[in-house]
Amino acid sequence: MPQTDSQPYDFDTATAVRRGEGDDVYLADLDPTWQVGGGILNGGYLLSVAAQAAVQGSHHPHPVAVSASYLRTTAADTVSLRVTPGAGGRTLAHSLVTLSDATGRPSLTVQATTATLTDEAPEYADAPMPVMPPPEECVDMAARLNPDPSKRPGLSRHVDSRLDPATAGWTVGEPSDEPVLRAWIRFVDGRPADPLALLTFADVLPPLGFVIGHRGWAPTVQLQVLVRGLPAPGWVLAETRARQIAGGWLDEDCTIWDSTGRLVAEGRQLARMSRAAG
Amino acid sequence: MPQTDSQPYDFDTATAVRRGEGDDVYLADLDPTWQVGGGILNGGYLLSVAAQAAVQGSHHPHPVAVSASYLRTTAADTVSLRVTPGAGGRTLAHSLVTLSDATGRPSLTVQATTATLTDEAPEYADAPMPVMPPPEECVDMAARLNPDPSKRPGLSRHVDSRLDPATAGWTVGEPSDEPVLRAWIRFVDGRPADPLALLTFADVLPPLGFVIGHRGWAPTVQLQVLVRGLPAPGWVLAETRARQIAGGWLDEDCTIWDSTGRLVAEGRQLARMSRAAG
């Protein structure tokens, strides 16, 4: 997908896969800049790469349901993606994708269902988009970190997130009692959102622990994302919400609407949470 | 788990696994009575059998996150369950379970994370149990089908579900505009709920299409269930809800609380829905 200046979009380059040795094996050069800090690659980015391999190995263009187990951290290296086809037909196809490092050690397994989504109007819809201020009145965390987009750290170089001020108190040392985040999201370079991008967007907001004043990272254990429609052009709105934190486990529900207010993705993850409060 | 009369509970017999040939292979005799109609085994029941195998192959006793892809219908036969261990440690362990029929054809793949849950109070909780009438004031569908428990069809012989009258209009030909179901659930024979049982309970209520007047079945494509705590004794309350029906796809969110009002399980599935309205 070339831009007007014929440069490919960041996301397409970073998620590209090519055929490896043997049937159903793909290779990808993971991009170290899609990290969340400390060199740890974003879980949503890894999910998009795995789904890219699943789509390449399928007759259907869109990931509609993906479930990932995060076994270990994945180094930003050349990785292999083995796609094991499951049952498939005219409507949908299943596969299992195993992402392994150069030594063959798996770090991510993904069950993927592919199909062909359309933009037809839903027969039933009851998930109204939350009301929040427009992007220009929201908190641009990346701009705070560095006014120069090319010098921003990690993910924020690629993904433009504007936090609803009502959920951004923690960014100025005023944590909330409620682990909820809302943000407008788009790619910095103007790449349109599509089902593959929604997988990254479903895991791109800061950890909900931060919102309530925890300092530790909350590594994803398992994440499912359902893609429910083709997003219209423009910003998407993502909301993440935890319902229970107990015994060191945290759930994180992510809902994404497109610019027309249509629900386009739903994700739910289980994460481990450090018990040490900030 | 013997009852007072030393008979094992139905659910334990129906989900038992034994070692098969080779490491990490288990066998199970699927019980044909755990069906939803037409001989189709309940998806939650199959999930519990797969999780039973994952637990047997793990150092941890409880499934805390399971994601299943339903590749094809599974016949009520002797099946094999291959458990492929992933990374594991003191806190949790990952594995992939593949359920295959006697010819070796896989019909269900499950990514399972096992750990050790406790009943300690949540640090944060914001998922209040819905208010609904007590079980004796709810709609006992099974009793309507047949007053004699031993003559009831399929699942209803094993699982006692009492529908909130507010969500049961469809059972008397008065469908709702809103695809929501609520019910008290317990095992007929008094077996206590536990994490393994919650996996079945997360997929045990009637399809949400029925609630809004669709007649067709809605086969599950992919289902994730997170188990968030050890349920207290007594009934659990389950609520299922669809947020969007579009292009023949339906989501179904299931939340389960125990008798103390604690959130103990959260499931989300993507299902295919017949376009033919009833």
Q: Identify the CA nearest to A67 among candidates A98, A29, A111.
A: A111
The whole-angstrom separation of Cα A71 and Cα B184 is: 36
Q: What is the signed CA dihedral for B200, B206, B212, B213, rounded to 10 degrees? A: 150
Of A117, A221, A228, the CB nearest to B244: A228
- Name residue B246's amino acid: A
Check residue A71 and give its pLDDT. Answer: 96
Does residue A1 register a pLDDT over 70? Answer: no
Q: Identify the CA nearest to A141 among candidates A210, A200, A189.
A: A210
Q: Which position has the higher pLDDT, A240 or B87?
A: A240
Of A71, A92, A244, the CB nearest to B127: A244
Check residue A278 and give its pLDDT. Answer: 38
Q: Are A124 and B242 in contact (CB under 8 A)?
A: yes
CA distance B89 to chain A (A): 11
Q: Identify the CA nearest to A1 among candidates A265, A190, A232.
A: A190
The whole-angstrom separation of Cα B124 and Cα B112 is: 25
Q: pLDDT tens digits, residue range B158-178? A: 999 999 999 999 999 999 999
Chain A residue nearest residue B126, CA to CA = A243
CA distance A129 to chain B (A): 12
What domains does chain A contain, in order, with CATH numbers? 10-117+133-272 (2.40.160.210)
Find the helix or strand (DSSP H, E) in which A82 lies: strand A78-88
* Residue A148, Cβ density class (10 Å: 0-12 exposed, 13-18 middle, ≥19 buried): exposed
Helices (H), B66-119: none
Q: pLDDT tens digits, residue range B47-97? A: 999 999 999 989 999 999 999 999 999 999 999 999 999 988 899 999 999
Per the listing, tokens 């004043």 go with A213
Of B124, B179, B222, the CB nearest to A67: B222
CA distance A268 to chain B (A): 8
Check residue A277 and give its pLDDT. Answer: 44
Q: pLDDT tens digits, residue range A131-154? A: 999 999 999 988 888 888 778 878
Q: pLDDT tens digits, residue range A57-102? A: 899 999 999 999 999 999 999 999 999 999 888 999 999 999 999 8
Q: Are residues A71 and B94, on separate chains, in Cβ contact within 8 Å?
A: yes
Q: Identify the CA nearest to B113 among candidates B174, B62, B45.
A: B62
Residues 6 or more apart in contact with residue B228 via CB below 8 angstroms = A244, A246, A249, A251, B64, B117, B263, B264, B265, B266
Q: Identify the CA nearest to B219 among candidates B69, B55, B51.
A: B69
CA distances from B236 to A257, B77, B135, B152, B227 (A): 32, 30, 10, 22, 13
Poorest-confidence range of A86-90, A233-237, A243-247, B15-19?
A86-90
Q: What is the mean pLDDT of residues A190-200?
A: 98
What is the ipTM metric for this complex? 0.95
- Name residue A16's amino acid: A
Q: How confident is the model at residue B275 (pLDDT cuts 50, 70, 90)?
A: low
Q: Are residues A94 and B69, on separate chains, in Cβ contact within 8 Å?
A: yes
Poorest-confidence range of A49-53, A84-88, A271-275, B198-202?
A271-275
Residues 6 or more apart in contact with residue A116 via CB below 8 angstroms = A60, A61, A62
Q: Are residues B71 and A94, on separate chains, in Cβ contact within 8 Å?
A: yes
CA distances from B2 to A256, B32, B52 (A): 47, 22, 18
